[in-house]
Structure 1
Amino acid sequence: MTEKLGLMICGHGSRNKGAVKQFARLAEGLRKRFPQWPVEYGYLEFANPVIHDGLNKLHEQGCTHVLAVPGMLFAAGHAKNDIPSVLNTYQAQHPDMKITYGRELAVDVRMVHAAGARIQEALDAAASDVPRHETLLMVVGRGASDPDANSNVAKITRLLWEGMGFGWAETCYSGVTFPLVTPGLEHAAKLGYKRIIVFPYFLFTGVLVQRIYTAADGVAERYPNIEFIKAGYLNDHPQVIDTMADRVQEILQGANVMNCQMCKYREQVLGFEAEVGLAQESHHHHVEGLGAEAECKLCEEFCTGACEAKVKAAAHHHHDHSHDHSHDGGHDHSHDAKDHSHDHSGDHGHHHHPYPHADHPLGPKSMETGIKK
């Protein structure tokens, strides 16, 4: 029988309508790159269609081999665990359709070019002309309990710093790990630079990006002699779509290799030794399909941050402040969905291995309780 290929783009999902629309535009960009195949997309939670729905559409169109790629910047819990868990469950129910899983966007020269373009757009729109060597770049990552994913943000920072010639550069995170945006910017403001560029290394808009900008405004008020510039996030930059298209080609070429050398579930990563070999569990099954029910009703496409109180309350349920449920277990080097082994027995509640630095004075828990170093 002739194989019929299909492409599935897997996202996390957002309560923000703007973020959902932006992800859909990214998917449309992939449809244009692969017009010979059916292309569908879906989310883990908070938005429709869910991944299961997209796979159903591909199945109905007669696809026998689905190439599934995560619309994720780095490989933390969602890319390593939650998406493969959904794919494995679906393939077990549809043995006539093979699903092969691709890797995340990762550290890639095209992603660095896309990030550089967003930063340059902010510089071009600035009211004053400050030399690069008198400018500090602050790259803000999402933040995860996976040190490998966090370290990749720092690598992006260095590539942008050296590539664009800024006087200094720092990295901070929107949640889960440390330093958070406010303490990170407070530290940066003391280094003596005339301008600070705040760049969210995020794919799409939403409450996390708005939280970053709000934090930047707050620090800027305390340091009126420093010019603060807020750069835009990546969005559907052509280089981002190029990178995702390349991830699809990697699957077909057999070069689909996820970075497992520094994975805390496979190696004795400093400070995370207790997590080697932990079994994988996914907890997204109970929220899959939350679309209109979960959608934020407090703002339209532009997130105003009005839902911050609700997000903080939900953080106690999600164990962090960014909806990044990075409680993933070990993952296999092979990339057929069936080869990412997951335990689907037992409770799929929110079980997170304790983050070893949860009480760090620059981290989420300490910031919330008012602990100061």
Structure 2
Amino acid sequence: AHGSRDPRHAATVRALVRRVRAQRPGLRVETGFLDFNSPSVPEVLESLDAEGVRDVVALPLLLTRAFHAKADIPAVLDQAPPRLRIRQAPVLGPSPLLLTALERRLYEAGLTPADKSSTGVVLASAGSTDPEAIAVIAEIAREWRHTGWCAVRPAFASASLPRTEDAVRALRAQGVRRVAVAPYVLAPGFLPDRIARGARDSGADVLAEELGPSPEVARLLIQRYTEARLPMRVAVSA
């Protein structure tokens, strides 16, 4: 996980890990943080190595493939004890399971399936300077729009525009009467709080909670683990 000075972040990550363990009894699941929290990823890897573990799947608790997935995590894994055989799983998003989790949070916040056609949604992510990550968020918003919502607009808490409050106001200007904000983030922290402030300041009607330890996210983690465990395909040309 990324890690945060906000204690809610680590608590949410650990709640998610408990749900994964409950769904896969017998599967060993350890938590490591890139920054701010302990244990760190290197500490977890060193502990596993000392216990004689040899095969490890590293699951990035990240929703998009940006700098942390492309640079930070590979750099940390490259410094792992040499006896560990490590496979880095893909990031969590995009996935239909995440869209289901987003809708779960919106319904928990008070919406119903009958509200979809009259509700515009702001898909509010943390933001990134990586063009690939920004393009993925925009594509998720387009895909989600086709499931019945009146409109879906992407927004970003940092690095990119528009901000959450600007996306809410744009939907209002478009004539959308009910606007909901769906944070596309895993755990509470500084940027999710910025998303929440933007939703409140712009008068959004509904603000969902972070994805957190939703059952869909736990299932997705197990899915990514399983994919990473599959034998690698080797292309052979005649």
Instruction: State the TM-score, normalizing by the size of structure 1.
Output: 0.59
1:57 aligns with 2:34: no
| Superposition deviation, residue 160 in structure 1 | 2.5
| Superposition deviation, residue 253 in structure 1 | 0.9
Does the 8 Å CA contact 2:126/2:192 hold for their aligned counterparts?
Answer: no
- Output the amino acid matched with 1:38: R
Q: CA RMSD in A?
A: 2.0
Task: Spell out, residue by residue over 1:269-324, the C-alpha distance to the aligned partner (whole angstroms, 9 max, x if none).
Answer: xxxxxxxxxxxxxxxxxxxxxxxxxxxxxxxxxxxxxxxxxxxxxxxxxxxxxxxx
1:142 aligns with 2:129: no
Superposition map of 1:323-338 within 5 A:
none
Residue number in structure 1 paired with 2:161: 178
The CA distance in 2 between the partners of 1:33 and 1:55, in whole Å, is 23
Q: Whose helix fraction is larger, Structure 1's or Structure 2's?
A: 2
Unaligned runs of 5+ in 1: 1-10, 221-226, 257-373
Residue number in structure 1 paired with 2:98: 111
The CA distance in 2 between the partners of 1:169 and 1:49, in whole Å, is 38
Kindly, what percent of the aligned residue pairs are identical? 27
The CA distance in 2 between the partners of 1:153 and 1:77, in whole Å, is 15
Aligned length: 233
Q: 1:49 to 1:144 in 2, by over 3 A?
A: same
| Superposition deviation, residue 162 in structure 1 | 1.8
Q: Give the one of 217, 229, 235 matched to 1:252.
A: 229
| Superposition deviation, residue 202 in structure 1 | 0.7
1:215 aligns with 2:178: no
Residue number in structure 2 paired with 1:40: 30
Q: Give the one of 188, 208, 211 matched to 1:231.
A: 208
Q: 1:131 to 1:29 in 2, by over 3 A?
A: closer
Task: Spell out, residue by residue over 1:25-74, the C-alpha distance to the aligned partner (whole angstroms, 9 max, x if none).
Answer: 22222333444343211111111111111112211221011111101111
Q: Which has the larger radius of gyration?
A: 1
Residue number in structure 1 paired with 2:174: 191
Unaligned runs of 5+ in 2: 234-238
Q: Give the one of 60, 82, 85 matched to 1:98.
A: 85
- Output the amino acid matched with 1:234: L
- Output the amino acid matched with 1:46: F
The CA distance in 2 between the partners of 1:33 and 1:61, in whole Å, is 24
Instruction: State the TM-score, normalizing by the size of structure 2.
Output: 0.90
- Output the amino acid matched with 1:206: G
Superposition map of 1:69-80 within 5 A:
69-80=59-70
Q: 1:37 to 1:229 in 2, by over 3 A?
A: closer
| Superposition deviation, residue 173 in structure 1 | 0.6
Q: 1:159 to 1:120 in 2, by over 3 A?
A: farther
| Superposition deviation, residue 255 in structure 1 | 6.0
State the secondary structure of the residue aligned to 2:86. strand
Does the 8 Å CA contact 1:137/1:196 hold for their aligned counterparts?
Answer: yes
The CA distance in 2 between the partners of 1:170 and 1:105, in whole Å, is 21
Does the 8 Å CA contact 2:122/2:164 hold for their aligned counterparts?
Answer: no
